[in-house]
Amino acid sequence: MSECRCMTPPFHRDDFYSQAIGIDMTNLRFGEVSVETCKTCGSKWLQYFVEYEAFTASGRYFRGMASLEQLLGLTPERAAAVLAGMPWYFRGGSYYRTPGERASGVPQVDL
């Protein structure tokens, strides 16, 4: 699977089917949560995007390959914790100054 485009940044929205889960309002962050399915290999990805409009270069995304068990009953408010529990995920955006890199631990969704 490492040869699939879904495993190598930068990611292209045309490579995925996307299903919006909702907005995480925790700490008024307005984090956009979705589940994306790779059109090539069928892998499921939990995506979290947040941007603070009052701050330059604050946009960031987190994308982790998720199992069906992790996605069952998923709510926007739980998404960051699910990502934190993954062995690794991708992060990127203007905040990190990269189109994507591997990371682990608690995703930095707040300012």
Question: Given a cut of 70, is residue 35 above it in pLDDT?
Answer: yes
Q: Is the pLDDT of residue 97 over 80?
A: yes
Task: State yes or no: pLDDT of 54 exceeds 50.
Answer: yes
Confidence label for 111 from pLDDT (cuts 50, 70 and 90)? confident
Confidence of residue 2 (pLDDT cuts 50, 70, 90): low
| pTM, 2 dp | 0.94
User: In whole angstroms, what is the distance from residue 84 CA to residue 30 CA?
Assistant: 18
Find, among 54, 45, 71, 62, the residue nearest to 102 by Cα. Answer: 62
**pLDDT tops 60 at residue 1:** no
Report the pLDDT averaged over residues 77-94: 97
